[in-house]
Amino acid sequence: MQYFSTNNRNHLVDFEMAVLQGQAEDGGLYFPEKVAKLDAGFINALPHLSNAEIAYQVIKPYVGSCITPDALAAICNYTVDFEIPLININADVAALELYHGPTLAFKDIGARFMSSCLSYFSKNNDKKTTVLVATSGDTGSAVANGFLNVPGVDVVILYPKNKVSYIQELQLTTLGHNITALEIEGTFDDCQSLVKQAFTDAEIKSHLALTSANSINVARWLSQQFYYFYAIKQNQNRPAIMSVPSGNFGNICAGLLAKVAGLPITKFVAACNANQVFMQYLENGTYKPQQAIATISNAMDVGNPSNFVRIMHLFNNHYNLVKEAVVSYSISDAETKATIKDVYQKYGYILDPHGAVAYAALQRYSPTGIILETAHPIKFNTTVESAINTQVPMPASVTNLLRLKKDALLLPKTYETFKHYLMQR
């Protein structure tokens, strides 16, 4: 499998180079030259296959010969070696709980897969790799955990000051070792812009071997397909309508790729908070990035989602094909809080703010379907507990985390300052 830049179809690399570079030199994102179609026999066999076997079959065509079959199987086993259950909220709606990994967020899956791939490739690389990643909340902690003490890899995480939850911040600022956290005086979009600019800076790239761990990296993005297969594997005769909390759109874009490959998903609901760029695109056909708006579902506070360009390539830039596959709704903070309260009072199920956005958006489209619960409610305990008027059960990992002290370097959002920092590494 070859990958081309979304800015130049003639720029082709293999999976290894796409992972190591993170972003193409021309600023584009890497995209597979073809979608790996899945046969009906594999889809029908899903209930009888382990999660690791499913992951291996889904990702194998995209990896090609860049990783040996035995090594790829081991990577897949490690990536999904925790529970990913589909839980019935009520008779009509189920939640795919993606927060049972080490950092209590769906991004553990992509981060573990990518870190394993990068570790495999780094064995043949005598130069240390620096991973740059911008986070709006959960990406940073998942990447930090996935890459902690991986030989030959340093990680630099950029996160927006005062715009991630307390527990999210502790998860990405307390690990030390090969993990460095930069607290940026700006928004997630500012953090993402700094990372993207660094990847196109020839002086920095001559100084450091850079790669990205955001969903712009194909290893992060492609492996997010896995759990859509797990949802269908566990689905019990309800319509396969998937409501996905959407910020940078890597998550839903991976699901759309799985659908195009043959996974029987009827419709996607792009569940957005006050950041409505994609919803407005579906309404008028014009994509117009905006300044990110801060909300209580902070991991979705993105005003210029990177993976929009991949969605367009997936559907060959046909607006009508995108509209046929996806609907989108914007959910306010007030409605998010009301949804958390209502679902808890009626069904005893505790949603986090992102899952609540997905639930509310699904209800606007259909009374039945599957939502993605992307983070444990404890990560947003202040918001959730004020809505349900009771304490969220605290996992042991969080109890231990609260004993640790934040360690982060505060920087302005200017590129010159960020570049100076990188050049001094």
Q: What are the catalytic residues?
A: 107
Residue 249 is classified by DSSP as S
Cα–Cα distance, 48 to 54 (Å, whole number): 10
C-alpha distances (whole Å) from 263 to each of 1, 15, 181, 222, 242 are 20, 23, 38, 14, 12
| Burial degree of 25 (CB within 10 A; 0-12, 13-18, 19+) | middle
| Burial degree of 405 (CB within 10 A; 0-12, 13-18, 19+) | exposed
Tokens of 29: 């994102």
Residue 207 is classified by DSSP as H
Tokens of 208: 């450091």
Residue 152 is classified by DSSP as T
Residues 6+ apart with CB under 8 A from 196: 23, 27, 306
- Report whether 179 contacts 163 (CB < 8 A): no
| Burial degree of 219 (CB within 10 A; 0-12, 13-18, 19+) | buried
As a whole number of Å, the end-to-end CA separation of the chain is: 34
Kind of pairing between the strands at 93-97 and 129-134:
unpaired
**Is the C-alpha dihedral spanning 155, 301, 354, 217 positive or negative?**
negative
- Report whether 210 contacts 201 (CB < 8 A): no
Cα–Cα distance, 106 to 98 (Å, whole number): 5
- Report whether 346 contacts 90 (CB < 8 A): yes
